[in-house]
Structure 1
Amino acid sequence: MTDLLTVDAIDTFYGRSQVLFGMSLNIKAGEVVTLMGRNGMGKTTTIRSIMGLTPAARGHIRFRDAEIRGLPSYRVAKVGVGLVPEGRQIFPNLSVKENLIATAANRNGSAQPWTYERVIALFPRLAERAGNMGSQLSGGEQQMLAVGRALMTNPHLLILDEATEGLAPLIRLEIWHCLEQLKQAGQSILVVDKNIGALTKLANRHFVIEKGRVVWQGSSADLQAAPDIQHRYLGI
Protein backbone atom coordinates (compact mmCIF):
# COMPACT_ATOMS: atom_id res chain seq x y z
CA MET A 1 0.00 0.00 0.00
CA THR A 2 1.31 3.44 -0.95
CA ASP A 3 2.13 5.82 1.89
CA LEU A 4 -0.29 8.68 2.43
CA LEU A 5 2.43 10.67 4.19
CA THR A 6 6.18 10.09 4.08
CA VAL A 7 8.55 12.15 6.20
CA ASP A 8 12.02 11.29 4.94
CA ALA A 9 15.17 12.33 6.82
CA ILE A 10 14.18 15.89 7.64
CA ASP A 11 16.37 18.31 9.57
CA THR A 12 14.60 21.22 11.24
CA PHE A 13 16.07 24.19 13.05
CA TYR A 14 14.94 27.05 15.27
CA GLY A 15 17.45 29.66 14.26
CA ARG A 16 20.85 27.97 14.62
CA SER A 17 19.54 25.33 17.01
CA GLN A 18 18.84 22.00 15.32
CA VAL A 19 15.85 20.10 16.73
CA LEU A 20 15.20 17.31 14.22
CA PHE A 21 18.03 15.11 12.95
CA GLY A 22 17.05 12.94 9.99
CA MET A 23 13.51 12.52 11.30
CA SER A 24 11.51 9.93 9.34
CA LEU A 25 8.06 8.39 9.61
CA ASN A 26 5.28 7.19 7.34
CA ILE A 27 1.51 6.77 7.44
CA LYS A 28 -0.59 4.65 5.12
CA ALA A 29 -4.20 5.41 4.21
CA GLY A 30 -6.57 4.34 6.97
CA GLU A 31 -3.83 3.95 9.59
CA VAL A 32 -3.64 5.46 13.04
CA VAL A 33 0.00 6.23 13.87
CA THR A 34 1.43 7.77 17.02
CA LEU A 35 4.47 9.93 17.67
CA MET A 36 5.72 9.31 21.20
CA GLY A 37 8.53 10.56 23.40
CA ARG A 38 9.29 12.68 26.42
CA ASN A 39 8.70 16.42 26.41
CA GLY A 40 11.13 18.44 24.33
CA MET A 41 12.20 15.57 22.05
CA GLY A 42 10.78 16.99 18.81
CA LYS A 43 7.19 15.74 18.53
CA THR A 44 5.59 19.14 18.04
CA THR A 45 8.46 20.28 15.81
CA THR A 46 7.83 17.26 13.58
CA ILE A 47 4.19 18.25 13.26
CA ARG A 48 5.11 21.88 12.64
CA SER A 49 7.52 20.74 9.92
CA ILE A 50 4.80 18.66 8.23
CA MET A 51 2.41 21.60 8.36
CA GLY A 52 4.96 24.10 7.03
CA LEU A 53 4.82 26.17 10.22
CA THR A 54 8.50 25.52 10.99
CA PRO A 55 9.87 24.48 7.60
CA ALA A 56 12.38 21.64 7.43
CA ALA A 57 15.76 22.70 6.08
CA ARG A 58 16.56 19.34 4.48
CA GLY A 59 14.88 16.09 3.56
CA HIS A 60 11.53 15.32 1.96
CA ILE A 61 7.90 15.43 3.08
CA ARG A 62 5.59 13.76 0.59
CA PHE A 63 1.82 13.74 0.88
CA ARG A 64 -0.25 11.72 -1.59
CA ASP A 65 2.86 11.33 -3.77
CA ALA A 66 3.52 15.09 -3.96
CA GLU A 67 6.37 16.95 -2.27
CA ILE A 68 4.99 19.39 0.31
CA ARG A 69 8.20 20.43 2.08
CA GLY A 70 8.51 24.15 1.51
CA LEU A 71 4.81 24.78 1.02
CA PRO A 72 3.22 27.45 3.23
CA SER A 73 0.90 26.08 5.88
CA TYR A 74 -2.31 27.19 4.17
CA ARG A 75 -1.37 25.14 1.11
CA VAL A 76 -0.57 22.09 3.26
CA ALA A 77 -4.06 22.44 4.73
CA LYS A 78 -5.56 22.76 1.26
CA VAL A 79 -4.06 19.47 0.06
CA GLY A 80 -5.90 17.74 2.89
CA VAL A 81 -3.95 17.80 6.17
CA GLY A 82 -6.13 18.80 9.12
CA LEU A 83 -4.46 19.89 12.37
CA VAL A 84 -5.74 19.91 15.94
CA PRO A 85 -2.90 21.98 17.43
CA GLU A 86 -1.46 21.85 20.91
CA GLY A 87 -3.37 24.41 22.96
CA ARG A 88 -6.46 24.03 20.71
CA GLN A 89 -6.27 27.59 19.26
CA ILE A 90 -9.97 27.90 18.59
CA PHE A 91 -11.40 31.31 17.68
CA PRO A 92 -12.38 32.78 21.08
CA ASN A 93 -14.71 35.46 19.73
CA LEU A 94 -16.67 33.18 17.39
CA SER A 95 -19.51 30.93 18.44
CA VAL A 96 -19.21 27.15 18.38
CA LYS A 97 -21.15 27.04 15.11
CA GLU A 98 -19.07 29.84 13.59
CA ASN A 99 -15.84 28.08 14.60
CA LEU A 100 -17.00 24.93 12.84
CA ILE A 101 -18.14 26.51 9.59
CA ALA A 102 -15.37 29.11 9.30
CA THR A 103 -12.90 26.81 7.52
CA ALA A 104 -15.30 24.14 6.21
CA ALA A 105 -14.32 22.45 2.94
CA ASN A 106 -14.57 19.01 1.33
CA ARG A 107 -10.87 18.51 0.73
CA ASN A 108 -10.98 14.74 0.37
CA GLY A 109 -13.89 14.81 -2.05
CA SER A 110 -16.01 12.60 0.20
CA ALA A 111 -19.47 11.61 -0.93
CA GLN A 112 -20.47 11.90 2.74
CA PRO A 113 -18.46 14.87 3.97
CA TRP A 114 -18.26 16.07 7.54
CA THR A 115 -20.88 18.77 8.05
CA TYR A 116 -21.95 20.86 11.00
CA GLU A 117 -24.76 18.40 11.68
CA ARG A 118 -22.43 15.38 11.64
CA VAL A 119 -19.89 17.04 13.95
CA ILE A 120 -22.43 17.99 16.61
CA ALA A 121 -23.85 14.48 16.39
CA LEU A 122 -20.34 13.19 17.14
CA PHE A 123 -20.00 15.69 20.01
CA PRO A 124 -23.48 16.27 21.47
CA ARG A 125 -21.96 18.58 24.08
CA LEU A 126 -21.18 21.04 21.27
CA ALA A 127 -24.83 21.03 20.18
CA GLU A 128 -25.76 22.23 23.68
CA ARG A 129 -23.19 25.03 23.42
CA ALA A 130 -23.72 25.99 19.77
CA GLY A 131 -24.39 29.65 20.52
CA ASN A 132 -21.60 30.09 23.06
CA MET A 133 -18.37 31.87 22.21
CA GLY A 134 -15.21 29.79 22.08
CA SER A 135 -13.86 31.63 25.11
CA GLN A 136 -16.87 30.48 27.17
CA LEU A 137 -16.15 26.76 26.71
CA SER A 138 -14.33 24.46 29.11
CA GLY A 139 -10.98 22.99 28.08
CA GLY A 140 -12.63 19.72 27.11
CA GLU A 141 -15.30 21.46 25.06
CA GLN A 142 -12.62 23.50 23.33
CA GLN A 143 -10.76 20.31 22.42
CA MET A 144 -13.94 18.78 20.99
CA LEU A 145 -14.44 21.98 19.02
CA ALA A 146 -10.85 21.88 17.72
CA VAL A 147 -11.32 18.27 16.56
CA GLY A 148 -14.64 19.13 14.98
CA ARG A 149 -13.17 22.16 13.21
CA ALA A 150 -10.41 20.01 11.71
CA LEU A 151 -12.95 17.39 10.61
CA MET A 152 -14.99 20.09 8.88
CA THR A 153 -12.12 20.47 6.41
CA ASN A 154 -12.65 16.78 5.50
CA PRO A 155 -8.91 16.03 5.61
CA HIS A 156 -7.19 13.01 4.13
CA LEU A 157 -5.00 13.06 7.26
CA LEU A 158 -5.99 14.29 10.72
CA ILE A 159 -3.13 15.30 13.04
CA LEU A 160 -3.66 15.79 16.77
CA ASP A 161 -0.89 17.32 18.89
CA GLU A 162 -1.40 16.46 22.60
CA ALA A 163 -4.87 15.02 21.99
CA THR A 164 -5.97 14.85 25.65
CA GLU A 165 -3.44 16.93 27.57
CA GLY A 166 -4.93 18.67 30.60
CA LEU A 167 -8.40 17.20 30.16
CA ALA A 168 -10.58 15.61 32.83
CA PRO A 169 -10.69 11.79 32.72
CA LEU A 170 -14.28 11.59 31.42
CA ILE A 171 -13.51 14.06 28.64
CA ARG A 172 -10.42 12.06 27.71
CA LEU A 173 -12.60 8.99 27.32
CA GLU A 174 -14.91 10.93 25.00
CA ILE A 175 -11.97 12.01 22.85
CA TRP A 176 -10.58 8.45 22.64
CA HIS A 177 -14.04 7.13 21.76
CA CYS A 178 -14.31 9.74 19.03
CA LEU A 179 -10.92 8.78 17.59
CA GLU A 180 -11.89 5.10 17.64
CA GLN A 181 -15.03 5.95 15.66
CA LEU A 182 -12.94 7.91 13.16
CA LYS A 183 -10.54 4.98 12.82
CA GLN A 184 -13.41 2.59 12.15
CA ALA A 185 -14.62 4.97 9.45
CA GLY A 186 -11.20 4.80 7.75
CA GLN A 187 -9.82 8.19 8.77
CA SER A 188 -6.01 8.37 8.67
CA ILE A 189 -4.70 9.86 11.93
CA LEU A 190 -1.35 10.94 13.37
CA VAL A 191 -1.64 11.49 17.12
CA VAL A 192 0.67 12.77 19.84
CA ASP A 193 -0.30 12.02 23.44
CA LYS A 194 1.15 10.65 26.66
CA ASN A 195 -1.58 8.09 27.42
CA ILE A 196 0.19 4.93 26.31
CA GLY A 197 -2.65 2.65 27.36
CA ALA A 198 -5.15 4.46 25.15
CA LEU A 199 -2.67 4.82 22.29
CA THR A 200 -1.81 1.12 22.17
CA LYS A 201 -5.52 0.27 21.99
CA LEU A 202 -6.15 2.79 19.22
CA ALA A 203 -3.10 2.88 16.98
CA ASN A 204 -1.73 0.53 14.34
CA ARG A 205 1.90 1.67 14.68
CA HIS A 206 4.07 3.85 16.88
CA PHE A 207 7.19 5.94 16.36
CA VAL A 208 9.21 6.77 19.49
CA ILE A 209 11.58 9.70 19.22
CA GLU A 210 14.50 10.87 21.34
CA LYS A 211 16.36 14.13 20.69
CA GLY A 212 14.85 14.61 17.25
CA ARG A 213 15.42 11.09 15.94
CA VAL A 214 13.30 7.94 15.71
CA VAL A 215 14.78 5.43 18.14
CA TRP A 216 12.10 2.76 17.90
CA GLN A 217 9.08 1.90 15.77
CA GLY A 218 6.61 -0.96 15.78
CA SER A 219 3.07 -2.18 16.38
CA SER A 220 1.04 -1.89 19.57
CA ALA A 221 1.83 -5.53 20.36
CA ASP A 222 5.53 -4.81 19.85
CA LEU A 223 5.39 -1.82 22.20
CA GLN A 224 3.47 -3.68 24.88
CA ALA A 225 6.10 -6.41 24.72
CA ALA A 226 8.95 -3.91 25.16
CA PRO A 227 8.79 -2.51 28.71
CA ASP A 228 12.44 -1.50 28.39
CA ILE A 229 11.56 0.85 25.52
CA GLN A 230 8.67 2.30 27.50
CA HIS A 231 10.88 2.87 30.52
CA ARG A 232 13.89 4.23 28.67
CA TYR A 233 12.17 6.61 26.25
CA LEU A 234 8.69 7.24 27.69
CA GLY A 235 9.43 7.31 31.40
CA ILE A 236 7.09 4.45 32.32
Structure 2
Amino acid sequence: MSVPPPLLSCQGLEAGYGASQVLFGIHLQIAAGEVVSLLGRNGMGKSTTIKALVGALRPTAGSIHFAGQPTARLPCDAIARLGLAIVPEGRHVFPNLTVREHLVAFADRRNGLSDVWDLERIYGVFPRLKERQHHLGSQLSGGEQQMLAIGRALSTNPRLLILDEATEGLAPVIREEIWRCLAALKAAGQTILVVDKYVHRLMDLADRHLILERGRMVWEGDSAALNADRRLWERYLAV
Protein backbone atom coordinates (compact mmCIF):
# COMPACT_ATOMS: atom_id res chain seq x y z
CA MET A 1 0.00 0.00 0.00
CA SER A 2 1.49 3.34 -1.05
CA VAL A 3 1.98 6.08 1.53
CA PRO A 4 0.34 9.39 0.57
CA PRO A 5 2.72 12.33 0.13
CA PRO A 6 2.95 14.80 3.02
CA LEU A 7 0.65 17.79 2.94
CA LEU A 8 3.62 20.08 3.60
CA SER A 9 7.23 19.33 2.82
CA CYS A 10 10.38 21.46 3.08
CA GLN A 11 13.78 20.33 1.85
CA GLY A 12 17.00 22.24 2.45
CA LEU A 13 15.15 25.46 3.23
CA GLU A 14 17.32 28.53 3.71
CA ALA A 15 16.14 32.09 4.28
CA GLY A 16 17.14 35.35 5.93
CA TYR A 17 16.98 39.10 5.80
CA GLY A 18 19.42 40.87 3.51
CA ALA A 19 22.91 39.60 4.19
CA SER A 20 21.83 37.92 7.44
CA GLN A 21 21.04 34.23 6.99
CA VAL A 22 18.59 32.85 9.57
CA LEU A 23 17.57 29.37 8.34
CA PHE A 24 20.11 26.70 7.38
CA GLY A 25 18.92 23.62 5.50
CA ILE A 26 15.55 23.12 7.20
CA HIS A 27 13.82 19.81 6.50
CA LEU A 28 10.29 19.17 7.74
CA GLN A 29 7.16 17.27 6.76
CA ILE A 30 3.58 17.41 7.98
CA ALA A 31 1.03 14.78 7.00
CA ALA A 32 -2.68 15.49 6.63
CA GLY A 33 -4.40 15.19 10.01
CA GLU A 34 -1.20 15.71 12.04
CA VAL A 35 -0.64 18.28 14.75
CA VAL A 36 3.02 19.30 14.83
CA SER A 37 4.72 21.78 17.16
CA LEU A 38 7.66 23.98 16.21
CA LEU A 39 9.75 24.64 19.30
CA GLY A 40 12.79 26.66 20.24
CA ARG A 41 13.85 29.65 22.28
CA ASN A 42 13.25 33.20 21.09
CA GLY A 43 15.33 34.17 18.08
CA MET A 44 16.01 30.62 16.90
CA GLY A 45 14.16 30.94 13.57
CA LYS A 46 10.56 29.89 14.26
CA SER A 47 8.99 33.10 12.94
CA THR A 48 11.27 33.12 9.90
CA THR A 49 10.26 29.54 9.12
CA ILE A 50 6.58 30.46 9.27
CA LYS A 51 7.13 33.53 7.09
CA ALA A 52 8.79 31.34 4.46
CA LEU A 53 5.98 28.76 4.60
CA VAL A 54 3.21 31.34 4.07
CA GLY A 55 5.05 33.30 1.39
CA ALA A 56 5.85 36.40 3.43
CA LEU A 57 9.58 35.73 3.00
CA ARG A 58 11.14 34.26 -0.14
CA PRO A 59 13.65 31.46 0.56
CA THR A 60 17.18 31.81 -0.73
CA ALA A 61 17.57 28.05 -1.23
CA GLY A 62 15.66 24.80 -0.89
CA SER A 63 12.11 23.82 -1.74
CA ILE A 64 8.65 24.00 -0.19
CA HIS A 65 5.77 21.85 -1.44
CA PHE A 66 2.24 22.30 -0.15
CA ALA A 67 -0.79 20.34 -1.31
CA GLY A 68 1.32 18.82 -4.08
CA GLN A 69 2.56 22.13 -5.50
CA PRO A 70 5.88 24.00 -5.21
CA THR A 71 5.23 27.21 -3.29
CA ALA A 72 8.65 28.74 -2.53
CA ARG A 73 8.16 31.33 -5.30
CA LEU A 74 4.42 31.91 -4.88
CA PRO A 75 2.96 35.06 -3.24
CA CYS A 76 1.03 34.87 0.01
CA ASP A 77 -2.42 35.03 -1.57
CA ALA A 78 -1.71 32.16 -3.96
CA ILE A 79 -0.50 29.95 -1.09
CA ALA A 80 -3.57 30.87 0.94
CA ARG A 81 -5.81 29.82 -1.93
CA LEU A 82 -4.17 26.39 -1.87
CA GLY A 83 -5.52 25.98 1.66
CA LEU A 84 -2.95 27.36 4.10
CA ALA A 85 -4.20 29.72 6.82
CA ILE A 86 -2.28 31.41 9.61
CA VAL A 87 -3.37 32.82 12.95
CA PRO A 88 -0.63 35.43 13.42
CA GLU A 89 0.93 36.45 16.67
CA GLY A 90 -0.95 39.51 17.90
CA ARG A 91 -4.31 38.40 16.43
CA HIS A 92 -4.81 41.39 14.04
CA VAL A 93 -8.60 41.46 14.04
CA PHE A 94 -10.38 44.31 12.27
CA PRO A 95 -11.68 46.81 14.87
CA ASN A 96 -14.63 48.00 12.75
CA LEU A 97 -15.97 44.59 11.68
CA THR A 98 -18.35 42.57 13.84
CA VAL A 99 -17.53 39.04 14.89
CA ARG A 100 -20.01 37.67 12.37
CA GLU A 101 -18.61 39.84 9.59
CA HIS A 102 -15.10 38.50 10.26
CA LEU A 103 -16.37 34.94 9.94
CA VAL A 104 -18.48 35.53 6.84
CA ALA A 105 -16.20 37.89 4.90
CA PHE A 106 -13.32 35.38 4.74
CA ALA A 107 -15.39 32.21 4.33
CA ASP A 108 -14.29 29.90 1.53
CA ARG A 109 -15.18 26.30 0.76
CA ARG A 110 -12.42 25.98 -1.81
CA ASN A 111 -11.34 22.52 -0.70
CA GLY A 112 -14.65 20.83 -1.48
CA LEU A 113 -15.02 19.40 2.01
CA SER A 114 -18.25 17.74 3.04
CA ASP A 115 -17.72 18.65 6.70
CA VAL A 116 -16.96 22.34 6.32
CA TRP A 117 -16.08 24.98 8.88
CA ASP A 118 -19.23 27.01 8.42
CA LEU A 119 -20.55 29.67 10.79
CA GLU A 120 -22.48 27.32 13.07
CA ARG A 121 -19.64 24.83 13.34
CA ILE A 122 -17.22 27.59 14.32
CA TYR A 123 -19.74 28.85 16.88
CA GLY A 124 -19.93 25.30 18.21
CA VAL A 125 -16.21 25.36 19.01
CA PHE A 126 -16.27 28.97 20.19
CA PRO A 127 -19.68 29.60 21.80
CA ARG A 128 -18.35 32.92 23.15
CA LEU A 129 -18.16 34.18 19.56
CA LYS A 130 -21.83 33.38 18.99
CA GLU A 131 -22.74 35.29 22.14
CA ARG A 132 -20.80 38.31 20.88
CA GLN A 133 -21.42 37.94 17.15
CA HIS A 134 -22.71 41.52 16.80
CA HIS A 135 -19.84 43.11 18.72
CA LEU A 136 -17.04 44.88 16.89
CA GLY A 137 -13.51 43.55 16.98
CA SER A 138 -12.48 46.54 19.09
CA GLN A 139 -15.07 45.60 21.72
CA LEU A 140 -13.66 42.13 22.38
CA SER A 141 -11.28 41.06 25.11
CA GLY A 142 -7.84 39.72 24.18
CA GLY A 143 -9.04 36.15 24.60
CA GLU A 144 -12.12 36.75 22.48
CA GLN A 145 -9.98 38.34 19.78
CA GLN A 146 -7.78 35.24 19.77
CA MET A 147 -10.83 33.00 19.38
CA LEU A 148 -12.01 35.23 16.55
CA ALA A 149 -8.62 35.06 14.81
CA ILE A 150 -8.73 31.26 14.95
CA GLY A 151 -12.36 31.19 13.81
CA ARG A 152 -11.59 33.55 10.93
CA ALA A 153 -8.78 31.25 9.76
CA LEU A 154 -11.05 28.20 10.05
CA SER A 155 -13.73 29.92 7.96
CA THR A 156 -11.40 29.57 4.96
CA ASN A 157 -11.50 25.77 5.45
CA PRO A 158 -7.73 25.40 5.43
CA ARG A 159 -5.90 22.20 4.71
CA LEU A 160 -3.22 23.42 7.13
CA LEU A 161 -3.73 25.83 10.03
CA ILE A 162 -0.65 27.58 11.42
CA LEU A 163 -0.94 28.99 14.94
CA ASP A 164 1.78 31.44 15.95
CA GLU A 165 1.83 31.94 19.74
CA ALA A 166 -1.94 31.50 20.08
CA THR A 167 -1.86 31.70 23.90
CA GLU A 168 0.67 34.54 24.24
CA GLY A 169 -0.36 37.31 26.61
CA LEU A 170 -3.63 35.70 27.70
CA ALA A 171 -4.87 35.24 31.25
CA PRO A 172 -4.51 31.64 32.52
CA VAL A 173 -8.26 30.96 32.43
CA ILE A 174 -8.46 32.16 28.82
CA ARG A 175 -5.39 30.13 27.87
CA GLU A 176 -7.20 27.05 29.13
CA GLU A 177 -10.14 27.88 26.89
CA ILE A 178 -7.83 28.17 23.87
CA TRP A 179 -6.17 24.83 24.68
CA ARG A 180 -9.62 23.23 24.91
CA CYS A 181 -10.52 24.62 21.51
CA LEU A 182 -7.26 23.40 19.97
CA ALA A 183 -7.95 19.92 21.31
CA ALA A 184 -11.37 20.08 19.66
CA LEU A 185 -9.74 21.04 16.35
CA LYS A 186 -7.38 18.09 16.61
CA ALA A 187 -10.28 15.75 17.33
CA ALA A 188 -11.99 17.11 14.22
CA GLY A 189 -8.97 16.07 12.13
CA GLN A 190 -7.63 19.56 11.42
CA THR A 191 -3.98 19.60 10.35
CA ILE A 192 -2.10 22.10 12.53
CA LEU A 193 1.40 23.53 12.87
CA VAL A 194 1.64 25.30 16.22
CA VAL A 195 4.27 27.54 17.79
CA ASP A 196 3.85 28.08 21.52
CA LYS A 197 6.09 28.37 24.56
CA TYR A 198 3.91 26.20 26.81
CA VAL A 199 5.66 22.94 26.02
CA HIS A 200 3.86 21.01 28.77
CA ARG A 201 0.50 21.68 27.11
CA LEU A 202 1.82 20.85 23.65
CA MET A 203 2.79 17.38 24.90
CA ASP A 204 -0.88 16.38 24.98
CA LEU A 205 -1.83 18.22 21.80
CA ALA A 206 0.91 17.52 19.25
CA ASP A 207 1.69 14.24 17.51
CA ARG A 208 5.27 15.31 16.78
CA HIS A 209 7.64 18.07 17.85
CA LEU A 210 10.38 19.87 15.91
CA ILE A 211 13.10 21.86 17.69
CA LEU A 212 14.97 24.73 16.06
CA GLU A 213 18.31 26.00 17.32
CA ARG A 214 19.99 28.92 15.57
CA GLY A 215 18.14 28.27 12.35
CA ARG A 216 18.81 24.54 12.22
CA MET A 217 16.50 21.62 12.92
CA VAL A 218 18.24 19.84 15.78
CA TRP A 219 15.61 17.36 16.98
CA GLU A 220 12.37 15.69 15.91
CA GLY A 221 10.24 13.19 17.77
CA ASP A 222 6.95 12.40 19.48
CA SER A 223 5.77 13.49 22.92
CA ALA A 224 6.98 10.32 24.62
CA ALA A 225 10.52 10.85 23.33
CA LEU A 226 10.51 14.55 24.25
CA ASN A 227 9.17 13.84 27.72
CA ALA A 228 11.81 11.15 28.29
CA ASP A 229 14.79 13.41 27.60
CA ARG A 230 14.66 16.47 29.82
CA ARG A 231 18.15 17.45 28.64
CA LEU A 232 16.45 18.63 25.46
CA TRP A 233 14.23 20.93 27.51
CA GLU A 234 17.21 22.42 29.33
CA ARG A 235 19.45 22.77 26.28
CA TYR A 236 17.01 23.98 23.63
CA LEU A 237 13.78 25.15 25.27
CA ALA A 238 14.92 26.95 28.43
CA VAL A 239 12.17 25.15 30.38
Name the residue aligned to 1:12: 15
Tell me the distance in 2 between the aligned counterparts of 1:213 and 1:88. 27
Unaligned runs of 5+ in 1: none
Structure 1 counterpart of 2:132, which letter? R
SS state of the match for residue 104, structure 2? helix
The answer for the alignment partner of 1:64 in structure 2 is 67
Which has the larger displacement, 26-35 or 8-17?
8-17
Letter in 1 for 2:120: E
Deviation at 1:167, TM superposition (A): 0.8
Q: Number of aligned pairs? A: 236
Aligned mate of 1:131, from 125, 134, 137: 134
CA distance in 2, matches of 1:107, 1:21: 34
Aligned to 1:37: 40
1:36-115 to 2 correspondences below 5 Å: 36-115=39-118
Distance 2:225 2:37 in 1: 14
Aligned to 1:61, the other structure's residue is in SS state strand
Distance 2:27 2:151 in 1: 28
Contact 1:107–1:156 under 8 Å retained in 2? no
TM-score normalised by L of structure 2: 0.96
Superposition misfits of 4+ residues, deviation over 2 angstroms: none
For 1:227 and 1:156, locate their aligned partners in 2 and report how far apart those are by CA, in whole Å: 33
The AA in structure 2 aligned to 1:193 is D
TM-score where L is the length of structure 1: 0.97
1:108 is displaced (CA, Å) by 2.2
SS at match of 2:95: coil
Q: Contact (CA 8 Å) 1:20, 1:212: kept in 2 or not?
A: yes
The Cα shift of 1:109 comes to 1.3
**How far apart in 1 are the matches of 2:132 and 2:51?**
30
* Letter of the 2:56 counterpart: L
Partner of 1:195: 198
* Amino acid corresponding to residue 62 of structure 1 in structure 2: H
* 8 Å CA contact retained: 2:125, 2:184: no
2:233 alignment partner, SS class: helix
Q: Please, which runs of 5 or more residues in structure 2 have no aligned partner?
A: none
Q: Which residue of 2 aligns with 1:25?
A: 28
**Is 1:122 paired with 2:119?**
no
> What secondary structure, in the 3-state scheme, does the structure 2 residue paired with 1:3 have?
coil
Q: Which amino acid aligns with 1:72?
A: P
- More moved, 13-22 vs 142-151: 13-22
Deviation at 1:74, TM superposition (A): 0.5
1:224 aligns with 2:222: no
1:180-214 CA distances to partner (integer Å, 9 max, x unpaired)? 11111111100000111110101000000011111
Encode CA deviations 1:92-148: one digit per residue, 9 max, x unaligned. Answer: 211111111111101321112111121112111111211111111111101000000
- Are 2:141 and 1:141 aligned? no
